[in-house]
Every structure is written in C-alpha cells, then in structure tokens.
Structure 1
C-alpha cells in the first residue's frame, strides 16, 4: 500500500513507522539515481575539449555529439514509462541504471567517433525512464502536501551529479584521460542498481483491484486537450531546453569567455551547480510557505513555477558580463530558479493527474515532448557559436522562452488532468 493512501485501522503503529522509514530510504535512493545520471551526463561536457581534439570535431559537430544521447532518450521516454506503469519502479529502475552504466563503460573503450555515438545512444536508452521512476516513487510514497518540496530536493540531485561529475571528471582527465573518466563513473551505477533491487518494493495493491490497462492512444490525445497539461508541458519544454544547453556547453562557455584551463573550468562549473542546488531548496521551501499560506489548492503551485521561471530568465543577462564573479553568480541564480521551477512543475503534474496509476506514462508523454525540444539545444547552440563566434543569441532566446512559458502556465493551469 502506498504511504499516501489511508492506512487501515488494523495496521499497527510499528508497521506505520516502518513505512515512514522506508519511504525516506526510497527518496534517498531516487536522489542518488539522479546524482549518478547527471554525473554521467556531465562526463561528456567536461571531456568535450579533449574528446573534440582527439576526433577533430568542429563546434557544430560537438553540438551533435552532445545531443546524441537524447536521440534515443526522447524516443523511448513514453514506451519506457508505459512499461514502468506495468512492471513497477523496482525492476525498471534497476534495469535502466544498469543499461546506462554499461554504455558509460563502453564509451571509455571506443576507437572512432561513430562507436562513441552508438554508446551515447545506448546511454539514452537506459536513462529514458529515469524521471518516470522518480515521479512514480513520489506519487506512491510522498504525502500530497509535501510532494513539491520532496521533488525539488530530489531534483537537486541533478545539480549535485553535475557538480560531482564535472569536478571528478576534470581531475580524472587531468591525471589520466577522458577514457578513464567514463570507465570510473560508469562503474558506480551498477552498485546503485543492485542496492535498488534489494531494497525497493513497489506498493502493495488490494487484491480486488483490476489489472492496470495500458494507456491508449486516445487517452494520450486527451492529455493535449487539457489546458492544465499544456501549461505544464510548455514549462517543461522551455526549462529542458536551457537545462540541456547549460549541461552541454557551460564548460566550453567558461573556457571561451574566461580563458581558463580544464581543471579551473571543472571547479567553477561544479561551484555553480552546488550553489544552484542549495539555492533551489531554499527558494522552493520559501515560495511554498508563501503561496500555500492561506490556500492549499494544488493548482496554486503554478505561481511558484511562474516566479521561478522569471528568476531563471536572468540567464539573458549573461552577455552583459565578462568577468568570473558576475558570470558565475548569474549562472548559479538562473540554475537555482530553474531547478525550483522544475520541482514545482513536476509536483504540479503529479498533483493534477486524476489517475495516479497513469503518472509514469503521463510523465513519459511530458518528457517525450520536452526532450524533443531539449535535444535541439546543443545542436542549435553549436550553430550559433559557429556562425557568430559567441553565445549571446542562445542566452537571449532562452530568457524570452522562459518568460513566455511562465505567463502561459499562470493562465492555463487550473483544472484536474484527465485521460478519459
């Protein structure tokens, strides 16, 4: 039984306490899954200067390589989360992390850029159900009133992973090679997959419940008739675009703008990610306390999303600065607001989906659409840098899109999301 359902009177206090303790272990493991996932993603961005030299890549080619894991990732978001709703988070979580960790290991042994691209595609296959697993665990085990803060804390694992992966990768590259970086980081995921399989348990359902049916194409179409879903989707698309842009290009941007070496780039990038993670938790908590002070209606969370997106749009001021401190400050603030917006938006989706058994699939639909846009971020930015020699247009585009998505969310997100 999920913790957030009514507990039968016959269930004793000890059992309830065990459920409370277990759910925090589950949340902790989901947090670590995000850390490992984004640590593995960061491995490429910090390795790109050396990898680009080894394979003689242009900025445009670097953009395509950076986006390569997203090709399979966005295509499999929906199929993998449909499977997640049927098979449960225990099996799919263990299998997914094992697959992407194997892809990381293979990446350290490739001899051609074509072989490397194939390992990135395999990485995307493994990572496809990641956020569906997280959303399912939060829906099953978190209290409705705490889902926003829980999700925001879990999503800070992305930034911790980017920070850890970047700084660890920078040192491994400096003292060994980018190949060693991929092999070492890839091995960590297998440990997590084993622990998850041994510890996590899917919620126990009543025997009288009918088996879950696979979501139909008509039900998926119905999602796009919901203004609430479209408002949430617009936020997911724009924040994903900026997220993938920064994840792919931030180290190279710092090298380009500040003229620093790979080790200093790694430490500065990690500093931004860590500051953003801490800031996101504070921002999320403060805004929840303010927005829900007099009215706890779930749809009011859209105001948190709006405020955070306005903060994230500060990324558009980056072209105004050319020294280290203000650049790092703007990046940290923008990313902190972006994480808080992502956490609030994901919780909003979790709250408003009428059928909780569909949350994995609905999350998959959202990710499929948003990642189809997100995969363009590294590519488009590569062309912008190649044509203009600067990143300015990329930052301006993101700022405008974030403001637009925030305004749309405020006016569109109001009602329950139904698939029938």
Structure 2
C-alpha cells in the first residue's frame, strides 16, 4: 500500500526512468522503419527489384538478430547509462550516412551497421525494467515502453512521409539520424540505475526489492565471470519452456516486421494508394497495435494482482493476440480500402497484445542470466526480421501480394500453437550458477 506521510512516502523515480526508455524505443523504431517509408522512392531511384528491396528491408535484421546473444551478454556486463548512449549515437550516425548512399551495396552495408549498433537495446530495456520495477508491475511497464514503437510510428509516420515529400528520402534519413544523436546525449545526462539515482528514496527501493526487483545484483562487477560462460549459453537453449516463447516471439515479430518494412509499399505499389494518403492510413494499424499492447499489459498485471495464476495471466493475452493476428489474411478478399485497413488493424492489434511476451524473460530466466536470456529471446524473435522481408519479396515478385499475407498469417497460428503446446507452467528456469554454487533459478 502507498505510504502517504513524511519521509516514508516512496518516490516514483522508476516512472521517469521508464519515460526515458519509452523515448529510446520511439527513436529505435524510427531508425528501423524509416526505410519502409523511403522504400518506394529509393527502389525507383536505385532501380531495385522487389527481391533486392526485400534484402534491403532485411539487412537491419541480419546483424541485429545475430548479435542479440552478444548484446545480452554486454547488457549484463556494462551499465545501461553508458552502453545505451553509445548505441544511440552510433546507430544514429549510421542512419545519417544512409542519406548519402548511391547504390544497393552501400545502403545494405549501412543497414547492417544500424542493426549491429541497435542489437543491445532490448536486452538493456529488459535489464532496466527488471531493476526498476517489482514483478507485479512488470507486464504493464514493459507494455508502456514497448508501446513507444507503435505510438511513435503511428503519430510520426505522417511526419516522415511529409519530410520525404519535402526533402526526399535522403533528407528523411538525415533528419531521423540527427534526432537520435541529440537524444543519446540527453539519455546519458539523465539516466541512472536505482542505487545511483540521487532522487530515489529508501521506501521506493524497498518497494522494488520486496516485489522482486533485482537491482542489487546489477551492481558493476556482479557475476561477470558466470555470465561469460558457454555453459550458461547452453542452459538458456536447453529449456522446452524457453523454446516455446522463442518460437512464439518469432511469430510475433513476423507480423511486426511486415508492418515495419513492406506495409507502406504494399499500400502504394500493390493497392495503388497515394503516397501521402498512405502515410496517414499506415498509422491506423500502429495505433491499434498500441491499444492491444497496453490492454494486454494492464489486464495481465491486474489478473496477477487478483490472485489468478501467473501462467493464465501471462499466457492467455498472448495466445488470444496471436490468434487474432491471423485476420491479416482477410485483406486478400476485399478491394475496399477501409476494409483492408480494418483487417490490418485487427491483425496488428492482436500482435500488439502478444508483445508483452518480454515479461517471460523476467519471470522465466535464471536470475543471473536475465540479460543473456533476453539476448537469446530477442535473437530468436528477430530472425523474423531477416526471414520475413526476404520471403515476402520473393512471394510478391510477380505482382501478387496475397501469398505474402497468407505466409504472415500462418506464422501467427504457429506462434499460438507454440504457447499452447510448448510453454507449460510459468516458473523460473532452474540452472546452476558456478560462481555462487547455488541453483540460480530458485
């Protein structure tokens, strides 16, 4: 219960730290998705085929996915303040440089660089939330920061289309990159871990720790030796439950990466919509996804507070959301623009519901391997960022986008089955920490 008098009233610094993470996510996704807004124009200027455009769309994911495990290890070893500032500044520089490319090879290389420098970002996000929030606030806090990707894109996609219409796709990359450079400095100036923040009081620290926050084990130097171990890597790949959420995350991210890459091109090239109009219409599914995400996060936490089982409270919204995402196939059976957007919005609403899946990293992974488990989880999920754009490029090469939507919808069904049949009772995975000589999952 909230204490209300005197020095015992707990501060709410954790929410201001969450707000900083939220903005990080907005910028993170601006620099992932600006390529989708620029896609039609730059493919025309560079004379790219649909297959080549698919590879450009996927380039970010090659390095981003492959570096998730190293990114998780780095997130466990280095503090979020310095590491996130470094990532923000370097990926933003790569984004600015994309405004000066002249061909496929240079653009592909810079998208690879953007993915590489963004790789530690979500493991860092998860580490921050695990440090700053008790377990019963975890799903809603994750939902709030992840919503940054949808709120940012929903409201900024029309802005991005306007910038491109005025300054070309080159100006679009330069503008979004400069925003990230400025924010990287602001992040460094304002973010602190719980034990280092000058405004957090003992009451808030006690509230976080009593609720399962792990900030004391996050002090510099803790468990470095145990994290950097191939034994630990093997442990996070050997759990059936974790494999269930890995497969589920691939399915969730498949829908996300369709919207982050091919969706504007689908509206303009395959549905014949005006470019500026498409920017406004493209924002509707992102708002729907944000609504699904926030609804899922707060309902899930409420169910936990009401005493419902963690298994039901955490799994049910994700399964329902993945099943709803299959509705994307409905767009194949109408030529009405309003219905197309409605089917897309419903599918992305469902996908948004399933994006609270990051909560499983906090509640399933061994306590000393949260960053590593988050890295593996994000690696498996972001294989979709490689596979989906390329497969869609090939499926749509003859001018028919219908097989691509069936492909994305089928992956949603696979994800739902994974949570239903592979993910069992939700409890922390028990592994042996060789440094402490205890079973770290207990």
TM-score strictly above 0.5: yes
Shift of 1:48: 0.8
Q: Which residue in 2 is equivalent to 1:112?
A: 103
Q: Which residue in 2 is equivalent to 1:313?
A: 326
SS at match of 1:57: coil
RMSD: 2.2
SS at match of 1:146: helix
**Mean CA deviation greater in 161-170 or 286-295:** 286-295
Q: Which residue in 2 is equivalent to 1:150?
A: 141
Out of 389, 392, 396, the residue aligned to residue 385 of structure 1 is 396
Which whole-Å CA distance do the structure 2 matches of 1:376 and 1:291 have between them? 35
Which whole-Å CA distance do the structure 2 matches of 1:292 and 1:301 have between them? 12
Q: Note closer, same or farther for the CA distance 1:208–1:123 as it changes in structure 2 (3 Å cut).
A: closer
Out of 229, 246, 252, the residue aligned to residue 233 of structure 1 is 246
Shift of 1:158: 0.9
Gaps of 5+ in 2: 196-215, 433-442
Q: Which residue in 1 is equivalent to 2:283?
A: 270
Q: Note closer, same or farther for the CA distance 1:60–1:16 as it changes in structure 2 (3 Å cut).
A: farther
User: Is the contact between residue 144 and residue 294 of structure 2 (CA under 8 Å) also seen in structure 1?
Assistant: yes
Which whole-Å CA distance do the structure 2 matches of 1:113 and 1:402 have between them? 31
| 1:395 to 2:420 alignment | no
| 1:17 to 2:10 alignment | yes
**Mean CA deviation greater in 106-115 or 140-149:** 106-115
Which whole-Å CA distance do the structure 1 matches of 2:92 and 2:156 have between them? 14
Shift of 1:411: 3.4
In the TM superposition, what are the counterparts of 1:85-124 in structure 2 within 5 Å?
85-124=76-115
Gaps of 5+ in 1: 1-11
Which whole-Å CA distance do the structure 1 matches of 2:220 and 2:55 have between them? 50
Out of 185, 188, 203, the residue aligned to residue 194 of structure 1 is 185
Shift of 1:398: 2.4
TM-score, normalization: structure 1?
0.90
Moved over 6 A (4+): 206-209
Shift of 1:291: 7.1
| 1:161 to 2:171 alignment | no
TM-score, normalization: structure 2?
0.86
| 1:346 to 2:392 alignment | no
Q: Which residue in 1 is equivalent to 2:19?
A: 28
Shift of 1:30: 0.8
**Mean CA deviation greater in 222-231 or 135-144:** 222-231
Out of 161, 177, 188, the residue aligned to residue 168 of structure 2 is 177
The number of residue pairs the alignment matches comes to 404
